Chains A and B, each alone.
Chain A
């Protein structure tokens, strides 16, 4: 394993070659906000929260997929990045219906945490109040599209880790929606093994256990990471 050295937020960081900027930054003590990224799942670079500035590159680059390189000079915070991240969070809040006070994930929601982290106390853009549905057809779990931010973690965990590929994204643009099976009610999709991994990795209250009350849903992405590491090291899950 070769080691490379780069500068992140003014600190010199050594990391294994092949590491992403996100891995290098976290190892070096810089906190980069992420949402679509989840260790153990393939990266999609879709939420754009992890964009960072790299010297000599006129474009911002997503830290979750950009390879760290020898001698790179990277900034993970700046007034410009702070403003862009706040706007991303505002866009997420305005395109769905996020009513924290009555949400199962209140207090344990990654979207809510990020809103706090980026200082978004209100949205400067108008809320759109889309009309979205709730799927309660599964015996154990529910999906509230109002709270879905289309991060596709559920799609990926089901296809890549569970191997059931129940979820997909349907439609396009603002009409995108997470769909189960061939856009069937979740409960009608035979491929679902009831494993609950999608509920575990969902960053918001969109996927939940049916028994969860307000503030009762806690995500457990770390369970996924234990499982994935065990598999990678050849151990039985």
Chain B
């Protein structure tokens, strides 16, 4: 029973207000619900709250219903309609909220594998707090670890804890975070800078956006702790202009936190980029912040030595920074015990493609791909068999279905010729043509090449044309050979990670699905020049 006055804590409905659910009309449903509750005088009996991503974005708009009182057991409803909102109000009026079953919506309880198999550390507050309210963030513990670190730990001690936790960069390469902090801290000079890489340009990746939209204070606090540890007083968040909601939430969070003097002496500013994929590459990103063209430069010198305006610069990914607070709160050993010995902690993935439940989820490192894709995501719609899972976007490759028992960790994925990447995971069912997919990614790299170095600028064009020649069934065995050798050439000679990795989707498809290419070749005799 959730009758008036029966319990101190009223029932509450948490409505996802992140970009995915907004795109399917969540805001209209929320305001309709709000108006209806007010009109019926029921506002006091159902607390309506606006929260960040609830998870299965593909089933949006999403609404989580918490029963209130001392009772546990939230239920999440997906695909909520205006009529469902009306029936919710009726159920509330009739004091039978517990048995409310919406007509249109899909029902998930917490035992659904999508939720049950998650381990939410980075996303622990996401979907629970109102991302625009600093009070809710503070109630959930925000800024306690920063205050504690500054008051009672030396910068060295903070770095040591991050190092011992085994945290590795979540931006793709998996570089040990503690080591990176140490090398920036060890540089001379008072004018250091901390940069958060929120460029997130891989097609199919939206983990960082989810974190920023749903819990912006978490990232700010992580950055401020990093700044304290390395000795920086200036921080930048580089974010793509397409992420309007994340930008709005960050702006507000920065205002609120600095208004209450919670960031200490660290000033954090936003830099909005025009959304070029290459601007996620750290040296291109720094050039872009400096106001120059977003083009990479050779490393060394690394940003730790020579970064923004020549100053020692720490650059980490959004999710990397979001891991800092729980590590300090729960301890390095706690974190190191999660995941695998070489890949500690959890990883947030955005699961998309041919999968029943698409969305954002967080699992311990080492979770088998099959668990994520088949159990949590429910496999491909219509029971079509899965052909492969793509990770790492245009810099990554695919894991064929027969290897779905592979644990997600940096080393295992690398062994199969792909990369962990930043967390995009695209499920491909049996209808997928791998040559087509390879051509899509090469077309993307061709488009996104900055044009500075010859192999990437001109090589991706030739590779894309060669792949199209295959798709048009005009290619011969000689073309396939040329495709392969040019892939290696571009990978071996390009200046930055974009060009060096651009051939990986092709090489991966060739490794696991060579038959898809061979099936397209011209027989020798009738070859078209």
- A173 with B482: CB separation less than 8 A: no
Which of A47, A48, A51, A169 gathers the greatest number of chain B CB atoms within 10 Å? A48
B165 within 8 A of A: no
Expressed in whole angstroms, the Cα–Cα distance for A47 and B459 within the complex equals 12
A62 within 8 A of B: yes
- A48 with B454: CB separation less than 8 A: yes
B348 within 8 A of A: no
- A174 with B458: CB separation less than 8 A: yes
Chain B 482-497 near chain A by CB (<8 Å), digits 1 or 0: 1000100100111100
| Residues of A contacting B460 in the complex (Cβ-Cβ under 8 angstroms) | 173
A172 within 8 A of B: yes
- A174 with B459: CB separation less than 8 A: no
| Residues of B contacting A83 in the complex (Cβ-Cβ under 8 angstroms) | 489
- A92 with B451: CB separation less than 8 A: no
| Residues of B contacting A99 in the complex (Cβ-Cβ under 8 angstroms) | none
Which DSSP category, helix, strand, loop or mixed, fits chain B's interface? Answer: helix
- B454 with A47: CB separation less than 8 A: yes
Task: With both chains docked as a complex, state the minimum distance between the C-beta of B458 and any C-beta of chain A, in angstroms.
Answer: 4
A87 within 8 A of B: yes
The residues in A between 89 and 143 inclusive whose CB is less than 8 angstroms from any CB of B are 91-92, 94-95, 124-126, 128
| Residues of A contacting B447 in the complex (Cβ-Cβ under 8 angstroms) | 173
Closest to A88 in B: B454
- B461 with A95: CB separation less than 8 A: yes
Say which size band chain A's interface belongs to: 20 to 34
Expressed in whole angstroms, the Cα–Cα distance for A84 and B490 within the complex equals 9
Expressed in whole angstroms, the Cα–Cα distance for A150 and B458 within the complex equals 11
Select A48's contact among B276, B293, B465, B494, beta carbons within 8 Å: B494
Closest to A85 in B: B493
Select B492's contact among A60, A168, A173, A174, beta carbons within 8 Å: A60
B448 within 8 A of A: yes
- A48 with B449: CB separation less than 8 A: no
Expressed in whole angstroms, the Cα–Cα distance for A162 and B446 within the complex equals 34
| Residues of B contacting A171 in the complex (Cβ-Cβ under 8 angstroms) | 451
Closest to B463 in A: A125
B304 within 8 A of A: no
- A46 with B461: CB separation less than 8 A: no
| Residues of A contacting B514 in the complex (Cβ-Cβ under 8 angstroms) | none
A176 within 8 A of B: yes
| Residues of B contacting A21 in the complex (Cβ-Cβ under 8 angstroms) | none
| Residues of A contacting B458 in the complex (Cβ-Cβ under 8 angstroms) | 91-92, 94-95, 174
B452 within 8 A of A: yes
Q: A46-B452, A46-B495, A60-B493 are in contact. Are A169 and B298 (CB under 8 A)?
A: no
- A87 with B489: CB separation less than 8 A: yes
- B493 with A173: CB separation less than 8 A: no
| Residues of A contacting B470 in the complex (Cβ-Cβ under 8 angstroms) | none
Expressed in whole angstroms, the Cα–Cα distance for A60 and B455 within the complex equals 13
Q: A84-B493, A91-B462, A94-B458 are in contact. Are A173 and B446 (CB under 8 A)?
A: yes
| Residues of B contacting A125 in the complex (Cβ-Cβ under 8 angstroms) | 462, 482, 486
| Residues of B contacting A44 in the complex (Cβ-Cβ under 8 angstroms) | 297, 452
B262 within 8 A of A: no
- A47 with B482: CB separation less than 8 A: no
- A84 with B489: CB separation less than 8 A: yes
Task: With both chains docked as a complex, state the minimum distance between the C-beta of B500 and any C-beta of chain A, in angstroms.
Answer: 8
B217 within 8 A of A: no
| Residues of B contacting A62 in the complex (Cβ-Cβ under 8 angstroms) | 298
- A126 with B465: CB separation less than 8 A: yes
A45 within 8 A of B: yes
Task: With both chains docked as a complex, state the minimum distance between the C-beta of A67 and any C-beta of chain B, in angstroms.
Answer: 8
- B451 with A45: CB separation less than 8 A: no
| Residues of A contacting B276 in the complex (Cβ-Cβ under 8 angstroms) | 172
The residues in A between 59 and 76 inclusive whose CB is less than 8 angstroms from any CB of B are 59-60, 62, 65
Q: A94-B462, A169-B451, A174-B458 are in contact. Are A124 and B492 (CB under 8 A)?
A: no
| Residues of A contacting B486 in the complex (Cβ-Cβ under 8 angstroms) | 87, 125
| Residues of A contacting B495 in the complex (Cβ-Cβ under 8 angstroms) | 45-46, 48
B163 within 8 A of A: no
Select B455's contact among A88, A94, A175, beta carbons within 8 Å: A88
The residues in A between 154 and 201 inclusive whose CB is less than 8 angstroms from any CB of B are 168-169, 171-176
B45 within 8 A of A: no
Expressed in whole angstroms, the Cα–Cα distance for A88 and B454 within the complex equals 7
B457 within 8 A of A: yes
Expressed in whole angstroms, the Cα–Cα distance for A179 and B183 within the complex equals 39
| Residues of B contacting A92 in the complex (Cβ-Cβ under 8 angstroms) | 454, 458
Expressed in whole angstroms, the Cα–Cα distance for A158 and B93 within the complex equals 76
B413 within 8 A of A: no
Closest to A45 in B: B298
Expressed in whole angstroms, the Cα–Cα distance for A92 and B293 within the complex equals 22
- A128 with B461: CB separation less than 8 A: yes
| Residues of A contacting B454 in the complex (Cβ-Cβ under 8 angstroms) | 46-48, 88, 91-92, 149-150
B247 within 8 A of A: no
| Residues of B contacting A84 in the complex (Cβ-Cβ under 8 angstroms) | 489, 492-493
- B493 with A88: CB separation less than 8 A: yes
Expressed in whole angstroms, the Cα–Cα distance for A88 and B492 within the complex equals 12
Closest to B453 in A: A46
Closest to B489 in A: A87
Expressed in whole angstroms, the Cα–Cα distance for A91 and B489 within the complex equals 11
Task: With both chains docked as a complex, state the minimum distance between the C-beta of B299 and any C-beta of chain A, in angstroms.
Answer: 10
Expressed in whole angstroms, the Cα–Cα distance for A156 and B374 within the complex equals 54
Closest to B494 in A: A48
- A174 with B457: CB separation less than 8 A: yes
Closest to B294 in A: A172
Expressed in whole angstroms, the Cα–Cα distance for A176 and B457 within the complex equals 9
Which of B276, B486, B494 gathers the greatest number of chain A CB atoms within 10 Å? B486
Q: Could you list 20 A-B pairs, sorted by A, with CB under 8 Å?
A: A45-B297, A46-B452, A48-B453, A48-B494, A59-B492, A60-B493, A83-B489, A84-B493, A88-B454, A88-B493, A94-B462, A125-B486, A150-B454, A168-B293, A169-B293, A169-B451, A172-B276, A173-B446, A174-B446, A175-B451
Q: Which residues of B contact A (CB under 8 A)?
A: 276, 293, 297-298, 446-455, 457-462, 465, 482, 486, 489, 492-495
Question: Top 10 A-B pairs ranked by shortest CB distance?
Answer: A176-B451, A91-B458, A173-B449, A95-B458, A45-B298, A173-B451, A48-B493, A46-B453, A87-B489, A174-B461
Known: A91-B454, A175-B451. 10 other contacts (CB 8 A): A45-B495, A48-B493, A60-B492, A83-B489, A92-B458, A125-B486, A173-B448, A173-B449, A173-B451, A174-B457
